[in-house]
Amino acid sequence: MLIRFPTPKGLKYTIDLANIAHRTAPRTVEAPIEGWIAEPTVIDWGDGTTETVQPGSAAFPTHTYAEGQDVFTIVIRSATGHLPKIRFAANSYDSDQPEKFAITKAVTAISHFAGEQGTSTVLVVHMLCKGASSLTYVDPRYAGYYKYSALMQVFSGCSSLAQDIKTFNFSFADQAEELAFNATFFNCTGLTGSIPEGLFANNTLAKSFSMVFRGCTGLTGSIPEGLFANNTLATTFYYAFQGCTGLTGSIPEGLFANNTLINGNGLGYVFSGCTGLTGSIPEGLFDSNTLATVMEGMFNNCSGLTGSIPEGLFANNTQAKSFSTVFCGCSGLTGSIPEGLFANNTFLESVASTFYNCSGLTGSIPEGLFDNCHSLKTVSSCFRSLDKLTGAPYVFWDAIKHPDITDSADCYTACSAEMRAQVPVAYGGTMTD
């Protein structure tokens, strides 16, 4: 991944050895250099010691600090500013290198780029700061000059990163493709502020936004409608906002309008656990996403959503095979289940826990709700705990309409006694005939 900095040369960061005091040889730390070194590179270790790493070296420089001080500021620079690959994250295959894990846990700030004025180029790789749980600050310039390759998991797990999301500028990452924003801010619980609408506006080649904000509980405000408007090549938003409990306001109807290439499970669990989202589900939210097949858990535990389920919500998703847990736990939804909700989903195989714990739903189940879904296999817990439903159950056990159902456990468990009396035991009812 190539990063361009318009002025200073070199990388400056701070470590705190107290964060790794429990480790073996805790005062030995590796420089965040990865890959071959193209020109003499100077490391100022911050304790009065410097060393020069010569070209062609593939070794990862390490340094052992004397007792008595824990906090050090390190500068890495070269004559032209062309630094090797930089990464603070340890890989799973680094398990025999405690000094590599040490830098991941010790780094507290990437403060700025020090050195002479001029143009600098720094090569880095994805997962730049993954797992750096003590990192509190990243220079906005560092976040803003990615150009090639992915920003995958760049700040994943940086739970102490206490910056406003507006600090991050990805406008220069105009060549980022493939896994570009996969888990970029995953579990960055310290991030604050509202997501700016133009955050990804220049990233027109980006294909993945899976888990991009997953677990970012400190984010607030509404999701901007144009957030992904320019990302027309994106194929997945799997878990994109999952667990973002601080987000509020309504889901914008046009959020995925331009993302026509979303496929497979690319919308799975996209808003799951966003308990602060309110308002009704927009009927046209998924109109453009005709290639999606596994649309599971999209509103799972979105307890703040209100209003009725729109009848045409899945009308264009004709390839969908699963709506498992899609409304599970949406206790604020009200009204009746619309008769035509699944009319166009003829390939549907699973509705496991689809309405489970939607305790506000009322009225009767439409007689033909799943009549067009002849491929159904799994209906377990589909209507579980909907004790306000009245009238007759939907007859999944009609072998003519649904010959392939193999999992029906608890389908009507905890529904009204009247309802369960009309349901076979195998489907969570009490009917024995």
| Residue spans per domain, the chain | 1-125
> Which pLDDT belongs to residue 54?
84
How far, in Å, are 1, 78, 101, 135 from residue 43 at the CA level? 22, 9, 19, 20
**48 burial type by CB count under 10 A (0-12 exposed, 13-18 middle, 19+ buried):** exposed
> Which pLDDT belongs to residue 194?
97
Model-level pTM?
0.90
> Which pLDDT belongs to residue 201?
92
**What is the block-wise mean pLDDT of the chain (433 residues), using blocks of 10 residues?**
44 89 72 78 94 78 90 86 72 51 85 46 60 86 48 87 88 64 93 95 91 97 98 97 97 98 98 97 98 98 97 98 98 97 98 98 97 98 97 96 97 97 97 80
What does the alpha-carbon distance between residue 209 and residue 187 come to, in Å, rounded to a whole number?
A: 14
> Which pLDDT belongs to residue 145?
43
3-state secondary structure of 400: coil
> Which pLDDT belongs to residue 367?
95
CATH class of the region 1-125 = mainly beta
- Residue 382: which residues within 8 A CB-CB, separation 6 or more? 351, 352, 353, 354, 355, 356, 396, 411
> Which pLDDT belongs to residue 126?
59
- Tell me the pLDDT tens digit for each residue of 352-393: 999 999 999 999 999 999 999 999 999 999 999 999 999 999
What does the alpha-carbon distance between residue 75 and residue 163 come to, in Å, rounded to a whole number?
A: 23
> Which pLDDT belongs to residue 99?
55
User: CA dihedral in degrees (161, 167, 169, 170; nearest 10)?
Assistant: 20
- Residue 190: which residues within 8 A CB-CB, separation 6 or more? 136, 158, 159, 160, 161, 162, 163, 218
Cβ-contact 163, 191 below 8 angstroms? yes
> Which pLDDT belongs to residue 390?
95
